[in-house]
Amino acid sequence: MSFLVEENPAEHRFEILVDDALAGFTAYLPRGEVLVFTHTEVDDRFQGRGVGAALIQGTLDQIRARGGRVVPRCPFMAAFIERHPDYADLVVPAP
């Protein structure tokens, strides 16, 4: 299974493709360099296979690479960051 995480700025979300099929997304509200994440969704066909974690990790890695920050209002993203504290430096208070 191959994962690809890409930003879709027109839809304000990061998407994960699994073997070229859209498997899920995490939606955000842009606030300058800060992205406020509101919702994460993984297609039922891909649940329980690590797709959600791969989506969040790929999203956070891309945001870190460009010097951005996040507000994890989405419970799934917030829980991922709590379990992976090496991403905590990306979190800022809500603007």
Domains of the chain plus CATH, in order, are 3-90 (3.40.630.30)
0.85 cut: is pTM over it? yes
Grouped pLDDT means (10 residues each) for the chain, 95 residues: 93 96 97 95 95 98 97 97 98 83
Torsion region of 21: left, alpha or beta (phi above 0 gives left; psi -120 to 50 gives alpha): beta
| Backbone angles phi and psi of 14, in degrees to 5 | -100, 140
Q: How many CA atoms lie within 13 A of 81 on its CB side?
A: 20
Listed in sequence order, the residues at least 6 apart from 86 whose beta carbon sits closer than 8 Å to its beta carbon are none
**What per-residue confidence (pLDDT) applies to 45?**
94
Q: Where are the beta strands (DSSP E) in the chain?
A: 3-8, 13-18, 21-31, 34-42, 69-72
